[in-house]
Structure 1
Amino acid sequence: MAWQNPWYDGSKAHHTPEGFRNLEPDPRQPGDLDRWRKERKAAGLPFPPQAGYDDFQTRWWQRADLSGVDDRVWWLGHAAMLLRLSQRYLLIDPALSTRASPLPFAGPKRKTPPPLRIHDLPRLDYVLISHNHYDHLDSATVRRIIRRFPDVTFVVPLGLQGWFTRRGARHVRQLDWWQSLEQEELSLTAVPARHWSMRTLYDRNRSLWCGWVVRSQTLNFWFSGDSGFSENLAEIPRRLGPFNLAALPIGAYAPKWFMQSSHMDPDHAVSLWRVMGQPLTLPIHWGVFELADESLDEPPAELSRAIQRSGEDNGRFAAWRIGESRALQNITQENS
C-alpha cells in the first residue's frame, strides 16, 4: 500500500495526500540531475577558492566566543546559528560533523571546521530544524545534543517528530507553516520556504521544510532556511515583520538553471532583503560545504556585487566570518 500523508489537510495548498509540495512549479525536468552531474564532472567543478583553502579559512573563520551574558547571535557556518536570548540558548540547523552525508567516508566534506562544539555550550533550551537534508539535520550532532542536554526541546517541521524521538529526544514539537510555539516570552513560528525534503531513496517530500521566525523582547528574526526565491516569500514580512534581523541564503546556486528552484542566488537574496525593508541580514548557506558549482569564496564576492548593483550599499547585508557574533542590543539600535 502506498504511503499516505498522516498530516494531510486538503485546505492547505502545500499539502498532498502523498506528502508536501511547494506553491511554485518546479522548472526541473527528468534527466536534469544527471545532466548537471556530467557537466560538473567534465568541467572539474567546483574550483578551489582563489587563494586556496587555507587562506580562505584564515580570512573567513574564527572560533566562536561564548563569553558574556548579553543577548547575542552567532553564525556557525553554512546555515547553523546560535542565539542567546535572556540567557536561554537556541541552535538552528546545527550540522557540525565532518560530512553532510549518511556515510562517514563519502559525501560533501567540511572545508572549514565548526567554530564551536556542543560541549562548549553552557546550556541549550531549543533546537530549530528547517528540513531533513544532511547539511541541515545531522544525526551525529543531534545525538551529541541529546546526550549533553537531554531536556532540550526540538522544534521541527511536520513529519520529523518521529525521527527525533527514535533517537531519544524527550521533547519534540512539530509545526506546519504559520503555526507557532509560544514559550516564556519567546515565539517560534514555522514559515514557508521553497525547497524539498529527502533523507533516503523512499521518503522524498514526506516531511515538510520551512523557515523560522524567532521573536523575543529584543528580537524579531527571520531565518529563511534553505529556499529558492519566490514572490510568495514576501508574505512573511507582511504578516510577521518588521524584522530587525534576518538570515538569507546566498550559496549553492550554480548552475542557476538547475539550482534556482531550491536555492537563492545573491541577486535574489538582495531582492528579498529590499522587500523586507533592509534589516541587518546575515548571509548564510555558504563557507563550509561545496554543494554546487561555485567556489567556496564566490558567494560573498557575488553578494557584494549584487549589493552594488542594487544601489543600496548601507552595510546591512554583508558577509560575516564563521564564528562571528553580534550583540542584539547593537542590532536593535542599527535598525532604529
Structure 2
Amino acid sequence: MEYRYNPDLPIIRPDWQGNPYKDGAFQYLQDPFFPEWKTVLRMLMTPNPQRREKKADQWRPAVLPSTDWIANKDRDFLVWLGHACFVIQLGGTRYITDPVLNGMPMVPRLVHPPFPTPQITGVDYILISHDHRDHCDQKSVQQLLSANPQAKIFTSLGMERTIGKWIDDTPMQTAGWYQQFKSPSHEPQLTFLPTRHWSRRGLFDFNQVLWGAFLFEYQGKRHYFGGDSAYHWPFADTGEHFPDIDIAMLGIGAYAPDYMMQGAHMNPEEAVQAWQDLGAKRLLPMHYGTYDLSNEPASEPYRRIQKAMAEQERSHDLILPGVNEVVYL
C-alpha cells in the first residue's frame, strides 16, 4: 500500500501517513464503496415505488432576484447557488465551491441563479471537492476563470488529470486529507478533510482523483463544506479535531434507492446525525432541488430535513435559504 499526500502542504494530524493508494486508485479502507454495474442496472430496471409521487411533485427551491451581494466585499456571508455551489466570503476573501451552474448531459438543471455565471466576480478561490460531473464542470470553471483571472484553485489530489487542460496557467494546489492549503496569513485557513465517497468521470478512472470536504477557519469561527459524502466515522473525528464548527453545509439529497445511494450520499436523517457528530451549531442542507439524480420526489429532502430537526428540537438551528439568498455569517 502506498500513501499519498502533497509534500508541499502541512499535515495537521500527526498519526496520518497520507491517503491509501493502491493499483492506481485512492482507497477508502473502512466500509469501501464501489458502484457495481449490476447495482446500476438494478436501479434502472426496478420500478420506482415513488414514481407517481415524484411525477406529481413540481416543487423547486425559491430563487431570490437580488444580485447586490456580488459587489459587496465588506461583509462575511454565504450564498447558495443550488446543489453544492456556494459563494462564501470571509474577511473580503471570496470562494466558490463545486461550481456546476449549467445542465449536465441528460440531466437538465431544474433551478437557476437569476444571472449568468460570468457575472460572478470578485472570486479569489475556486474550491472543487471531487471530479463528479455534478461537482466539477468544465464550462462553469472556465467561465469563472474568464471573469476572475486572479482566482486560484484549491482541490484534491489527482484533480490535475481532470482539470489541468481546462485552466491554462491558473495556480492550483491539491491536497490530501488532513492537509492545510497555503494562503496568505491574513486570509482564512482551509483544510481538506475526509468524506466517504468516490470519484469517476469515465469508464476506467475509478478513484484516480481523491474526494473530500473543506473546513474554513477565520477569526475564531469555523465553517464546514461537506462536498459529497455518505454517513461515516470521520464526521465525529472532524468534530474532535475542529470543535465549535459554526455552520455545516451537508448534502441531504440523491439517496433513493438506498441500495444504490447509501454508500455515496446521506438522507436527511443521516445528515442530521452527521451534523451532530461534527458538533456544529447550525446545519445548512445542500445537494437537493437542483438536479434530478435519484428516485425520491423533489421536495422530499426539504420536508424530511425539517421534520428531522424538529424531532431533535433544533429547528432554530436549521438554515434553509433559497437559491441566491444571502446568509450573513
Q: TM-score range by the shorter chain?
A: 0.7 to 0.9
Give the structure 2 partner of residue 313 of structure 1: 314
Paired letter, 1:264: M
Instruction: Evaluate the alpha carbon distance shift between residue 164 and residue 14 of structure 1 in structure 2; reply closer, same or farther with a 3 A threshold.
Output: same
- Residue among 25, 30, 43 paired with 1:24: 30
> CA offset at residue 48 of structure 1?
3.6
2: CA distance, partners of 1:74 / 1:49: 29
**2:87 maps to 1:86:** no
Aligned partner of 1:71 among 72, 76, 82 = 76
1:18-47 Cα distance to aligned partner (Å, 9 max, x none): 211223324666611100111157974782
Offset at residue 190 of structure 1 (A):
0.7
Verify: 1:249 aligned to 2:251, yes or no. Answer: yes
* 8 Å CA contact retained: 2:33, 2:197: no
> Which residue of structure 2 aligns with residue 333 of structure 1?
none
Q: Residues of 2 paired with 1:12 and 1:274: CA distance?
A: 27
TM-score (ref. length: structure 2): 0.87
Q: Give the match for residue 180 of structure 1.
A: 180
Instruction: Give the alignment of 1:193-232 within 5 angstroms.
Output: 193-217=195-219, 219-232=221-234
Q: Does 1:38 align with 2:40?
A: no
Match of residue 100 from structure 1: 104
How many residues align? The count is 313
CA contact (8 A) 1:130 1:156 kept: yes
C-alpha distance in structure 1 between counterparts of 2:53 and 2:201, whole Å: 24
2: CA distance between counterparts of 1:13 and 1:179? Answer: 11
Q: Distance in 2 between matches of 1:254 and 1:227?
A: 14
Q: What TM-score comes out, normalization by structure 1 length?
A: 0.85
Distance 2:194 2:181 in 1: 16
Give the Å deviation of 1:170: 1.7
SS for the counterpart of 1:47 is helix
State the one-letter code of the partner of 2:104. A
* Alpha-carbon separation, structure 2, partners of 1:63 and 1:219: 29
What amino acid is aligned across from residue 170 of structure 2 in structure 1? R
Give the secondary-structure state (helix, strand or coil) at the position aligned to 1:272.
helix
Q: Distance in 2 between matches of 1:317 and 1:169?
A: 40
Structure 1 distance, partners of 2:5, 2:125, is 27
For residue 191 of structure 2, give the secondary structure of its aligned residue in structure 1. Answer: strand
Residue identity in the other structure for 2:99: P
Give the gaps of 5 or more residues in structure 2: 7-15
CA–CA separation in structure 1 for the residues paired with 2:305 and 2:316? 12
Query: Cα gap change, 1:87/1:40 in structure 2, threshold over 3 Å: closer, same or farther?
Result: farther
1:334 corresponds to = none
CA distance in 2, matches of 1:138, 1:46: 31
Alignment partner of 2:109: what SS?
Answer: coil
2:160 corresponds to:
161
Partner amino acid, structure 1, of 2:257:
P
Q: Does 1:291 align with 2:293?
A: yes
Are the aligned partners of 1:161 and 1:173 in contact in 2 as well (CA < 8 Å)?
A: no
Moved over 6 A (4+): none
